[in-house]
Amino acid sequence: MSKRPVVLVVMDGVGINASEFGNAVKKAYKPTLDELWANCPHTEIKAHGLAVGLPSDGDMGNSEVGHNALGCGQIYSQGAKLVNENIETGEIFKTETWEALVNNCKEGTMHFLGLLSDGNVHSHINHLKALIKKAKEDGVKEVRIHALLDGRDVPETSALIYIEDIENYMAELNDDNFHACIASGGGRMTITMDRYEANWAMVEKGWHVHVLGEGRQFASASEAVETFRDETGVIDQDLPGFVIAKDGKPVGTIEDGDSVVLFNFRGDRAQEISLAFDGDDSFDKFDRVRMPKVMYAGMLQYDADLNIPHNFLTYPPKIKYTLTEELCKHGIREYAISETQKYGHVTYFWNGNRSEKFDEKLEDYVEITSDVVPFEQRPWMKSAEITDVLCAAIESGNYDFLRTNYPNGDMVGHTGNFEATVIGVESVDLQLARVKKAVDAVNGILIVTADHGNADEMYEKKKKEDAPVKSKTSHTLNKVPFIVYGADVELKQDEDLGLSNVAATVADLLEVAPNEHWNTSIIKK
């Protein structure tokens, strides 16, 4: 192909925020990004709320829905919105899966495992309430909650608010024929919710806590949280696992004849624990010690191609007409690369929740293995290694469209460590200079954008002037940059531009007609 190659860089978690308060992006020394913004066609685009298929513009975006929108050029109902619709219509409870889950545990226990918060990124406490209520209505006698604590998509020490909320809700439902309570828990970055097989030890810890009832015992979840805070000072996402016990006996181990529902709707941190429950005797990621005979289901199917999990309550959006599929029709050679933490985003999520390639001959994917260390201790992550391989691919002349994701602004931003996040943003800028040089060498075009904000707002907004500064670990509602380098184009400045407008823009730059189902290009014509 003789057309100029196009390289798209996603700076994960790098949003636009006019305020300097807690803004690691503004604080960072980033001469390359600043130069591109000052001298190249640029605009701001939405990466949250309605623009990525979420229920309202008060819902922060995330990497999964962001890469779905980037890669398919359309807006689909996503995550919480999709589940909300199915709960409101009652469709979720009319499925064969729900009926089987209920019937399976009439003589046992229904277990609900998931992130206990209203962050609306991985889960929502209202979904859990609806499941508990319907379980009682359908004749289930015993319900146990295995509560993963957030502090990442919600304020970092807000766990007790959600614990009190769900316990009060269950207390109103409990009677002589029904009993629901919290059985276990722990911080989301300590147990259970690993992703991309980066740290199976997290999942193993969760298995021992939730299934086997092995762990430090407490009389209540509140006692566990308060005790660990006093002893360690960690925020919610890093709380150790705990088991609720009465008279020295765990109140909710998972046994033969029980049913288990993972009520998270986001897929990346749901797949590994799902594999542990669904896996047969060939499962070798860790020793499960005891494998109870249960019926297991997810809120959604987290990977349709790999059938994870086998049973699920809400069907994911059927994403059609993706950018990759369209480019393959035109013989465009594609390349995708990131490190483990975001590899699935530039492949699976980008391609519309599809694991398999559309064309083996036209698509090459590369994963750089992430380090298993706290991100604030190594905020540069694998940015240099990604760039080494990406630049070689650009300069090889073998590809027409290349894409990458630098996770630093997001993954380091989630730690709440401002200084480390500044370094993370600076690390990406260093590599962006190298990518720009490689693009120049092949007379290419460079697009720089982000999938959502995070590093741009690292402190909670003060409610009182004299209030102490508190770290913010969640994503933001800010717009993200969209920059085109190396092409003489004029970009729209419309208020409603979003991530779903990027696919048509890439097609324009590759001189390929955009698919008729896509949202319009950002380039003025």
Q: Which residues are known binding-site members?
A: 12, 63, 122, 152-153, 188, 195, 266-269, 342, 410, 414, 451-452, 475
Residues 115 and 151: beta-carbon distance below 8 Å: no
Catalytic residue among 2, 19, 56, 63: 63
Residues 145 and 166: beta-carbon distance below 8 Å: yes
Distance between CA atoms of 355 and 365, rounded to whole angstroms? 11
Residues 80 and 124: beta-carbon distance below 8 Å: yes
DSSP 430: H
Distance between CA atoms of 472 and 477, rounded to whole angstroms? 13
From the number of C-beta atoms within 10 Å of its C-beta (0-12, 13-18, 19+), residue 212 rates as middle
Residue numbers in the known binding site for substrate are 122, 152-153, 188, 195, 266-269, 342
Tokens of 443: 């007379």
Whether the upstream peptide bond of residue 309 has omega within 30° of 0, thus cis, is: yes
Residue with tokens 């907004």: 461
Residues 147 and 298: beta-carbon distance below 8 Å: no
Beta strand residue intervals within 73-175, DSSP E: 109-115, 142-149
Q: Is 317 helix (H, G, I), strand (E, B) or coil?
A: coil
Distance between CA atoms of 404 and 337, rounded to whole angstroms? 5
Tokens of 69: 């929108």
Tokens of 120: 């609306």
The amino acid sitting at 443 is N
Residue with tokens 């490689």: 438
Q: Between 200-210 and 271-278, two packed helices, what is the crossing angle to 10 degrees? A: 60
From the number of C-beta atoms within 10 Å of its C-beta (0-12, 13-18, 19+), residue 169 rates as middle
Nearest to 182 by CA among 109, 262, 114, 244: 244
User: Does residue 338 have an active-site annotation?
Assistant: no
Distance between CA atoms of 370 and 362, rounded to whole angstroms? 26
List residues with catalytic annotation. 63
